[in-house]
Each structure stands twice: as structure tokens, then as C-alpha cells.
């Protein structure tokens, strides 16, 4: 069921909570986006998840367009992240099967969306009326809402100076583990969708080397992975020519394909050897498996986002086109308002324009509130501390997610519109990576991400590519400037400026 909110009561309740907690420590996800796709994810992450599971974040918020057009800052309260993490592991300690049950429940919810999305791909949306497009869009949001409890794995993202994996592993083993031991235990045993996509390309490249006709393989890759480089701003479906171009660029495809097919089995084998050497208790094994499965939940959840955004962006533009509304402003009308919007679009022009200038969206289990920049000022709320620019800092620390060392030119990248200035060997500094970042990551000397943990996209893909990566580097995009020389020590988790 789609819940309708943003009432005056919601605004009063949530603003009061925000004023009481605005000085708390927050974990920031910062990247490019239009408002509607982010709002939908917030609705799923907080409002839906709290109705589905006792393991859910109770509050969340995001700033939209506060420092730059088409960007947002999503904020989880750090204390709630840590408390939720403790609750998850306490549940695991009480029931060693808890992790398996949680993972299986998430996969069932994911299948509901997967089925709905595959059906939607067959719909000739350009022929539909705005009213039908809206109904179909709301049905897809409803399908996505079932897997909202998967957002609880955000509690496993790494905050500054916080090595929860190492601490809990030591607790369950009874001693501190070495960096090499932790690195082995952190390795995922499930393939990410980016890795699966790459395997399919390698398979096609090998088939072509054997003289086979690969048209059917290419067509299948297009059908199954057209969404792989979508984000919160654009939908850029993969087409036949894109796939063929990527296959053409494959080097040593046969050797790479054979190695990659064996990698997961080798990871599992290395873990088993280490478990045996450690005389690992069952609780340590259950903990490591839970963290591993959380990586897959994070990856599946990202897949839902990219596939849902495909339809949201297409359908909203199509609605705007059919009724003669601004194709940018429509992204500042929220999904629960669209029925009224279609009856009287003119009434929403000024509302959308005010939100586009900058707004704050607040969420709890009972509702949501959208507060414009002007309303924040009128209420006398100071939010400047959320956007502090750091000066004089030359070194930051995070969690080493993929080991290695690198030196190079810092490229501070927020979104795909900035990709053109990235060059081979540059150090990618961003808030978080999404699948459209993968072409950059393949050329990067190292990756530094403000957010993340062992479950993050940056960590998973960097390990798959074999490049150094540090995650959880708070304020990296504000401390390091584009074009500076930097050094990345992804063994100790340190990024520093070079003179």
C-alpha cells in the first residue's frame, strides 16, 4: 500500500525531532540525483522498512540541491547505525540461523520486484495515458517497497575510525586477527551484478574468438543488463552497439574469463583453510557469512534502485511531455502528489520551483515532511554545520577495503557529468560509487570513498578489479581538491596530500 503524507502534523513532528537532533553525528551519502528517485528510496528505506521488520532505521533525512543543483546529501544518524548493528549481531548470537533467515527473507522480497520489473519491460509506455503511466509507476514503487528492510545493512557501512568487522571477529574468535586474516574473511563469496555483467561480456568475447556468432548472446546481455549504468539522474540503457564496443575492448578475454570463473570458488576455499587454521567457532563463521550476505543484499538493493529509476525517469518525462509540463520540474513533484498533480498541474509549478531551490526531506515510521529552504530559514534552524568546508587538513583515515598503494592526481567526482575529466591512473575521490562509475574505476590508480564498508559497491568492485580502495573517509570530497597530488595507503587506510 502507498502511504500519503507530508501533512502539517508530519511537518511539526519531524521538524521538532530534527531540531532536537540536528547537532548529532550523521553518516552522509552525497552524490548527484533528482529529487523524486531519492524520495522514493527514502520512503522505502524508512517508512516501509519499519512496517516490515523490527530491524529498521527509524529516522532518515536528505538535503536536496543545497550546495549544487541536482545533488543530495542523505543522512543516517551514526548512533542509530551503531545501535542497529549491535541489535543485528545480538540476534545472531541468540540464533546462529538468524543471518540465513534474514537473507532468505530479503531474497524473497527482491523476487517480487524482479518479477514486476521484467513484466514492465514489455510495456509500450509511449502509448499510455498519463493516468495509466502513474498507476504503473505506483505499482512498481509498491513492488520495490517489499524489500525495504534490506536498508538495515546500511548500519554496516563504515564510519570514521570504526572497524566493526575486526572488533566483532576478534570477539567471536577470542583474539585479534591479522590484517591478512581479516582481508580473507571479508572477501565476498557472491558475485555482484557488475561482476556478473563483466563475466557475460567475457563469455561473449571468448565465443567470438572461437568463431561463433554472438548476436544471440549480445541480445541476451542487453535484455538482462540494459540498466547497469543508470543512476539517480539519468537512464542510459545499454544497446547492442555499447555491448559490442565493450567486447571489442576486452584484453586476454579467455585467460581473464577462466580466472574469474574460479575466483569465487578459490575465495571459499581460502576461507575454509583459514577457518580450519583458526579453529573457528560456529559463531565466527555465522558472523562472517552474515556480513557476506549483507554485501549481496546491498548489491541487490542497488539493482532495485537502478531498475526502478529506469522506469521512474522514463515515465515522469513521458507524463511531462504529454501534459506540456517542464521535464525538469516534474522531478520535484513527489509520487504521492501525482494524482492531484494530473488534475491541476499549474498548482504544483511554484511548489516544485521552491523545492528545486533547495529543501530538506524528513522521514520516520509514521510519515514524511518536505521543508523548503525558506521554511528552514523562517523557522530559525541553522543547517550550515552540515556543509562545512575543511581547510588545513592534509591527511584522512578510513577503512582499507582493497589493499594496495598508489600515488596520483586526485579527481573529485560527484556524478557522471564529471567523468570526462578523469584520466588513466587518477585517484578517484567520491562519496560512493555506483555502477556507472565502473569504467572510471577500471582506469583509476585507487578509489577513495566517503562512505562504505565491506558491503559497499566501491569495496566490492575494487577488490574484483584488484585496485587499492579505502572507504569511510569522512569529508574526503571537501578536504582533497581536484588536481592535487595524493597518496593512498590502502593497507593502513590512509589518504594524504603530497607536496
CA distance 211 to 15: 64
Burial group, residue 210, by CB count within 10 angstroms (0-12, 13-18, 19+): exposed
| Mean pLDDT (whole number) for 7-11 | 88
| 3-state secondary structure at position 110 | helix
Please state, in angstroms and rounded to a whole number, the distance separating the CA atoms of residues 477 and 140. Answer: 34
**Confidence at residue 1, expressed as pLDDT on a 0 to 100 scale:** 44
pLDDT surpasses 90 at 84: yes
- Residue 101 grid coordinates: 533467515
Please measure the distance between the N-terminal and C-terminal CA atoms of the chain and give it in whole angstroms: 57
Query: What average pLDDT does range 60-68 have in this prediction?
Result: 89
Give the residues across from 210 on adjacent strands: none
Q: Specify the 3-state DSSP secondary structure of 97.
A: coil
The radius of gyration of the chain's CA atoms, rounded to the nearest angstrom, is 23
**pLDDT tens digits along 433-453:** 877 888 899 999 999 998 777
Q: Which residue has the higher pLDDT, 457 or 19?
A: 19
- Write out pLDDT tens, residues 226-255: 999 888 888 889 999 999 999 998 888 899
Query: What is the per-residue pLDDT for 364?
Result: 94
Q: What is the pLDDT of residues 282-311, one digit of tens each?
A: 999 999 999 999 999 999 999 999 999 999
pLDDT score at 159: 67
Angstrom distances, CA of residue 494 to CA of 180, 237, 268, 425, 459: 17, 37, 29, 18, 15
Q: Tell me what the mean pLDDT of segment 391-411 comes to.
A: 89
> What mean pLDDT do residues 397-413 have?
92
pLDDT at 454: 65
Q: What mean pLDDT value characterizes the chain?
A: 91
Mean pLDDT of 394-415: 90
Q: What is the pLDDT of residue 308?
A: 97
Amino acid at each position: 500500500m502507498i502511504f500519503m503524507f507530508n501533512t502539517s502534523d508530519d511537518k511539526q513532528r519531524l521538524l521538532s525531532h530534527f531540531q532536537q537532533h540536528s547537532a548529532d553525528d550523521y553518516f552522509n551519502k552525497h552524490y548527484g540525483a533528482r529529487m523524486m528517485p531519492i524520495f522514493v528510496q527514502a520512503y522505502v528505506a524508512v517508512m516501509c522498512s519499519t512496517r516490515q521488520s523490527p530491524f529498521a532505521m527509524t529516522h532518515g533525512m536528505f538535503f536536496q540541491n543545497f550546495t549544487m543543483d541536482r545533488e543530495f546529501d542523505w543522512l543516517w544518524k551514526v548512533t542509530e547505525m551503531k545501535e542497529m548493528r549491535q541489535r543485528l549481531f545480538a540476534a545472531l548470537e541468540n540464533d546462529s540461523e538468524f543471518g540465513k533467515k534474514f537473507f532468505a527473507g530479503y531474497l524473497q522480497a527482491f523476487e517480487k520486484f524482479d518479477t514486476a520489473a521484467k513484466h514492465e519491460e514489455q510495456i509500450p509506455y509511449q502509448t499510455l495515458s498519463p493516468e495509466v503511466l502513474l498507476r504503473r509507476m505506483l505499482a512498481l514503487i509498491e513492488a520495490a517497497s517489499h524489500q525495504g528492510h534490506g536498508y538495515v545493512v546500511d548500519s554496516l557501512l563504515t564510519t570514521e575510525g570504526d572497524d566493526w568487522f575486526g572488533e566483532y571477529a576478534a570477539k567471536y574468535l577470542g583474539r585479534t586477527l591479522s590484517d591478512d586474516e581479516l582481508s580473507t574473511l571479508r572477501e565476498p563469496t557472491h558475485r555482484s551484478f557488475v561482476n556478473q555483467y563483466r563475466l557475460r561480456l567475457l563469455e561473449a568475447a571468448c565465443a567470438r574468438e572461437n568463431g561463433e556468432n554472438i548476436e544471440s548472446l549480445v541480445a541476451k546481455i542487453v535484455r538482462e543488463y540494459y540498466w547497469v549504468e543508470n543512476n539517480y539522474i539519468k537512464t542510459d540503457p545499454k544497446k547492442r552497439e555499447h555491448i559490442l564496443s565493450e567486447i571489442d575492448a576486452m584484453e586476454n578475454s579467455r585467460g581473464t574469463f577462466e580466472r574469474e570463473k574460479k575466483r569465487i570458488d578459490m575465495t571459499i576455499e581460502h576461507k575454509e583453510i583459514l577457518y580450519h587454521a583458526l579453529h573457528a567457532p560456529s559463531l565466527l563463521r555465522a558472523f562472517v557469512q552474515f556480513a557476506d550476505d549483507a554485501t549481496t543484499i546491498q548489491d541487490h538493493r542497488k539493482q532495485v534502485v537502478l531498475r526502478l529509476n529506469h522506469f521512474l525517469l522514463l515515465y515522469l518525462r513521458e507524463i511531462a511531455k504529454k501534459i506540456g509540463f517542464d521535464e525538469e520540474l516534474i522531478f520535484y513533484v513527489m509520487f504521492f502528489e501525482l494524482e492531484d498533480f494530473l488534475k491541476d498541474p499549474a498548482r504544483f509549478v511554484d511548489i516544485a520551483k521552491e523545492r528545486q531551490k533547495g529543501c530538506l526531506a524528513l522521514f520516520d515510521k509514521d510519515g514524511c515532511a518536505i521543508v523548503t529552504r525558506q521554511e528552514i530559514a523562517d523557522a530559525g534552524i541553522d543547517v550550515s554545520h552540515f556543509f562545512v568546508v575543511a581547510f588545513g587538513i592534509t591527511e584522512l583515515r578510513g577503512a582499507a577495503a582493497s589493499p594496495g598503494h598508489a600515488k596520483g592526481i586526485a579527481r573529485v567526482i560527484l556524478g557522471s557529468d564529471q567523468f570526462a575529466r578523469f584520466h588513466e591512473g587518477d585517484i578517484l575521490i567520491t562519496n560512493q560509487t555506483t555502477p556507472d562509475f565502473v569504467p572510471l574505476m577500471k582506469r583509476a590508480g585507487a578509489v577513495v570513498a566517503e562512505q562504505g564498508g565491506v558491503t559497499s559497491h566501491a569495496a566490492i568492485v575494487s577488490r574484483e578489479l584488484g585496485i587499492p580502495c579505502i572507504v569511510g573517509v569522512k569529508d574526503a570530497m571537501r578536504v582533497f581538491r581536484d588536481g592535487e597530488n595524493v597518496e593512498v595507503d590502502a593497507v593502513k587506510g590512509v589518504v594524504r596530500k603530497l607536496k
